[in-house]
């Protein structure tokens, strides 16, 4: 039992997943960890916020005009949770001011010359049919004072979440002032919610142990990706230099998966150490080719 506990700990310790560097990107900690040029209006304080106001809330139905008249703001909920206390998103009545920051945060521990994926989920909180043809939200990312990529527009009706992202290369930076800014110059219909904001390193890692024993756990050896990969070329070689596995997937997102058997005759490969080489293409602004090499231990 101690051996298997040690093995599990060793296996988990070798698997590195991308870490979201954004603090409170899901707003579950409430109105903290970020800056904005907008004014916070708690739902209980004022039901009619007006442009340049926001609330951290669990429903976009916060906006209910005085007098109980119908209004197109809908009871949209958090991107990843059902409605209820603590299941938050940032809901706002956006102003028609270009480049005005809706949300910003300074992120540290940035690795120089590294690709990062800046992402957010966005939804409109109004019904298009109520406005006819409203001017739906248009946003853009900004990092260290520079606009990133192209503006992105929410095109769906109320309560339909869409994810938008851009790839940013850190260059010489060791920190990043990241912002989401408004690019809509029209006021009517520019009402939205954002949630699950993230800044994550583009990368790929490989475990160094696997156990193809048919128990349904770690039975295959596969790259662990947290990036946009569009091709693979993967080989595994045994201690005598024999090719035991090869997979090439050009222009494909199908991951190489080795089941511990010899290529060709399907015989079980012996327990021991194997060498692997992985070439893969990463989609950033262009396709960037990378190579990883390493050793793995097959345990039966």
My answer on whether 243 and 177 are in the same domain is no
My answer on whether 149 and 245 are in the same domain is no
Residue 26 lies in a domain: no
Residue 151 lies in a domain: yes
DSSP H stretches of helix in the chain: 2-13, 128-131
My answer on whether 51 and 165 are in the same domain is yes
My answer on whether 91 and 12 are in the same domain is no
Give the contacts of 13 (CB within 8 A, at least 6 positions apart): none
Residue 24 lies in a domain: no
Give the contacts of 241 (CB within 8 A, at least 6 positions apart): none
Of 201, 226, 261, the position where a domain reaches its end is: 201
**Count of domains forming the chain:** 2
Residue 117 lies in a domain: yes
My answer on whether 207 and 89 are in the same domain is no
3-state secondary structure of 126: strand
Residue 210 lies in a domain: yes
My answer on whether 168 and 52 are in the same domain is yes
Residue 23 lies in a domain: no
Q: Give CA 15 to chain center in angstroms.
A: 18
Give the contacts of 240 (CB within 8 A, at least 6 positions apart): none
pLDDT of residue 132: 63
Return the DSSP state at 248.
Answer: E
My answer on whether 46 and 193 are in the same domain is yes
Give the contacts of 52 (CB within 8 A, at least 6 positions apart): 37, 38, 39, 93, 94, 95, 97, 100
Residue 238 lies in a domain: yes
> Is the pLDDT assigned to residue 7 strictly greater than 50?
no
My answer on whether 194 and 256 are in the same domain is no
Mean pLDDT of the chain: 81
* φ, ψ (nearest 5 deg) of residue 43: -55, -35
Of 147 and 42, which is predicted with more confidence? 147
pLDDT of residue 148: 93
Which domain CATH number covers 239? Answer: 2.60.40
My answer on whether 114 and 213 are in the same domain is no
pLDDT of residue 255: 67
Quote the domain boundaries for residue 194. 39-201
pLDDT per residue as tens digits for the range 239-286: 999 999 998 765 455 667 899 999 988 999 999 999 998 887 766 555
> What residues does 148 pair with on adjacent strands?
141
Of 143, 177, 201, the position where a domain reaches its end is: 201
Q: How far apart are CA 166 and CA 116, in angstroms?
A: 8
> Is the pLDDT assigned to residue 16 strictly greater than 80?
no
Return the DSSP state at 81.
Answer: S
**Per-residue confidence at 13, pLDDT binned at 50, 70, 90?**
very low
pLDDT per residue as tens digits for the range 163-204: 898 888 898 999 999 999 999 998 888 899 999 999 988 766
Which domain CATH number covers 96? Answer: 2.60.120.260
pLDDT per residue as tens digits for the range 58-87: 888 776 666 656 667 888 888 886 555 558
**Per-residue confidence at 126, pLDDT binned at 50, 70, 90?**
confident
């Amino acid at each position: 039992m101690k051996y298997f506990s040690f093995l599990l700990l060793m296996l988990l310790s070798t698997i590195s997943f991308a870490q979201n560097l954004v603090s409170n990107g899901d707003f579950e900690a409430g109105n903290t960890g970020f800056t904005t040029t907008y004014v916070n209006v708690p739902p209980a304080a004022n039901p009619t916020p007006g442009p340049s106001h926001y609330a951290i809330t669990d429903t976009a139905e916060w906006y209910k005009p005085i007098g109980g008249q119908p209004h197109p703001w809908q009871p949209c909920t958090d991107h990843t949770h059902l409605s209820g206390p603590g299941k938050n998103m940032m809901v706002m009545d956006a102003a028609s001011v270009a480049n005005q920051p809706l949300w910003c945060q300074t992120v540290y521990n940035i690795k120089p010359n590294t690709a990062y994926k800046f992402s957010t989920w966005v939804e409109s909180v109004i019904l298009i049919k109520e406005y006819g043809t409203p001017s739906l939200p248009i946003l853009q990312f900004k990092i260290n004072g520079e606009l990133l990529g192209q503006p992105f527009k929410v095109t769906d009706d109320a309560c339909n979440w869409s994810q938008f992202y851009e790839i940013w290369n850190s260059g010489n930076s060791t920190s990043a002032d990241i912002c989401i800014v408004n690019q809509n110059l029209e006021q009517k219909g520019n009402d939205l919610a954002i949630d699950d904001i993230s800044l994550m390193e583009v990368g790929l890692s490989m475990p160094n142990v696997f156990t193809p024993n048919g128990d349904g756990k770690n039975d295959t050896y596969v790259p662990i990706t947290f990036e946009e990969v569009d091709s693979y070329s993967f080989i595994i070689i045994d201690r005598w230099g024999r090719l035991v596995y090869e997979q090439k997937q050009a222009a494909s997102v199908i991951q190489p998966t080795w089941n511990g058997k010899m290529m060709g005759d399907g015989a079980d490969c012996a327990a021991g150490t194997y060498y692997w080489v992985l070439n893969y293409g990463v989609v950033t602004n262009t396709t960037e080719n990378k190579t990883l090499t390493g050793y793995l231990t097959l345990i039966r």
